[in-house]
Amino acid sequence: MEYSAQAIAALVNGEIIGDPQVTVQDFAKIEEATPGSLTFLANPKYLKYLKTTEASIVLISRNLVPSYKVEPTLIVVDDAYKALAVLLEFYKKMTHTRKGREKNSYVHSSAKIGKDVYIGAFAYISENCVIEDRVQIYPQVYIGENVRIGEGTIIYPGVKIYNDTVIGKNCIIHAGAVIGSDGFGFAPQADGSYKKIAQIGNVVIEDDVEIGANCTIDRATMGSTIIRKGVKIDNLVQVAHNVEIGQNTVIAAQVGFAGSTKIGKNNMIGGQAGFGGHIKIGDNVKIGAKSGVIKDVKDNQTILGQPAMPFREYSKNLAVFKRLHQFYTEFLDLKNTINKILKNKN
């Protein structure tokens, strides 16, 4: 699809410097762009490429507009990165939205399907499901009984959604994710064996949540495992039974949450962090990559380490650890000196 600078500027509320009628068909990085492509400039590190880029249109942050004339048409906005996100979302909706039901898909007669829904080949929708308007269900998706999926949500290939799951509006669930599998609940027996505890709860995912590829979100033992509005979860994340993740929290890849952990809102969690069970994390908390979190954390903290501790404390300990070999060598020298003194006295 082809768009003019004038049309693009209208979408992002931008100002045009150059030809408003110039058109583009695709996106590219500024250093690799070719005629007919749109690029963006939000980082002063890449300002040097503005003189050499072959892009037809450059979306540029206001503070980076040059005093010299450049070849491409510029669309000036307050924040080029945020404006690019708007354009990419618009482009994706225009080029990737599908409708209709493909052959070899199965929809139970009791399921309620909204308007403009796409159901891909070999998708399976069980009884009593409610699929609202404009939902996209890609091939080989399994949707269990009594599942409800809100309007505009996208379910990518191979996702498995177990019974009774509730998914809100405008969510994105990437390929291979499993939503609503049993929580890890087993009761130890006198003979050393383990008896499975039935997991009779569900998973509730609120609006505007994105879940990465191959994530697993377990159903609650009782009640609900809850992912609140606006949460963004990277690939390969494990969320155990009865966990609650607060609004607008972002979680990098390979994080693991043990059962019944409560995560507050507006948190940032680095990759491979691990959380013990039955702990509570406050709001506006930043947790470094590979942190081991085993106790409650108050609001507005920055923590990291194994076990996780406040940033300043961790930094002091790290400074000591970096000199550990030096301290050990000095200790051995001091020990030898003392031994010599004691030996001479004898």
The predicted structure's pLDDT at residue 280: 98
Same domain, 187 and 160: yes
Domain with residue 160: its CATH number is 2.160.10.10
Q: Look at residue 216 in the predicted model and tell me its pLDDT.
A: 98
Note down the domain range covering 331.
316-345
What pLDDT score was predicted for residue 142? 98
For residues 136 and 117, state if they share a domain.
yes
Instruction: Indicate if 239 and 135 belong to the same structural domain.
Output: yes
CA distances from 298 to 263, 270, 295, 303, 309 (A): 11, 17, 10, 10, 12
Same domain, 219 and 295: yes
What's 34's domain CATH number? Answer: 3.40.1390.10
139 shares its domain with 156? yes
Strand partners, 26: 37
Check residue 116 and report its DSSP letter.
T
323 with 299, same domain: the answer is no
Tell whether 112 and 132 lie within a shared domain: yes
Q: Is the peptide bond before 307 cis (omega within 30 degrees of 0)?
A: yes
Domain count of the chain? 3
Q: Are residues 87 and 104 in the same domain?
A: no
CA 243 to chain centroid: 17
Cα 297 to chain centroid, rounded: 22
Would you state the pLDDT for residue 318?
Answer: 85
Give pLDDT, residue 94.
78
Task: Report the predicted TM-score, pTM, of the whole model to 2 decimal places.
Answer: 0.85
| Token code pair at residue 312 | 């300043």
Please tell me the predicted confidence (pLDDT) of residue 95: 76
Distance of alpha carbon 13 from alpha carbon 323, whole angstroms: 54
Are 275 and 325 in a shared domain?
Answer: no
Residue of 202, 128, 214 whose CA lies nearest to 167: 202
For residue 187, give the nearest of 179, 196, 178, 200 by alpha carbon.
196
Total Cβ atoms within 10 A of residue 335? 10
109 burial via Cβ count (<10 Å: 0-12, 13-18, 19+): exposed
| Spatial CB neighbours of 147, under 8 Å, sequence gap ≥ 6 | 126, 129, 130, 161, 162, 163, 164, 165, 166, 167
Find the radius of gyration of the CA atoms of the chain: 27
- Are 92 and 173 contained in the same domain? no
DSSP secondary structure of 233-258: E-SS-EE-TT-EE-TT-EE-TT-EE-
Per-10-residue mean pLDDT for the chain, 346 residues long? 93 96 95 96 95 96 94 96 93 82 96 97 98 97 98 97 98 98 95 96 98 98 98 98 98 98 98 97 97 97 94 87 88 90 82
The answer on 142 and 254 residing in a single domain is yes
What pLDDT shows up at residue 219? 98
Q: What is the largest CA-CA distance in the chain?
A: 97
Which residues belong to the active site? Answer: 241
* Domain stops at, among 81, 96, 111: 96
Cβ atoms within 10 Å, residue 65: 15
Domain endpoint, select from 45, 74, 96: 96
Q: Which pLDDT value is given to residue 194?
A: 97
Exposure string over 25-51, b if 16+ CB within 10 A, otherwise e: eebbebeebeebbbbbbbeeebeebbe
How far is Cα 94 from Cα 88, in angstroms, rounded to an integer?
10
Residues 144 and 61 in one domain: no
For residue 107, list its beta bridge partners.
Answer: 125
Q: Taking a C-beta distance cutoff of 8 angstroms, is the pair 5, 21 a contact?
A: yes
Instruction: Work out the number of other CB atoms within 10 angstroms of the CB of residue 173.
Output: 27
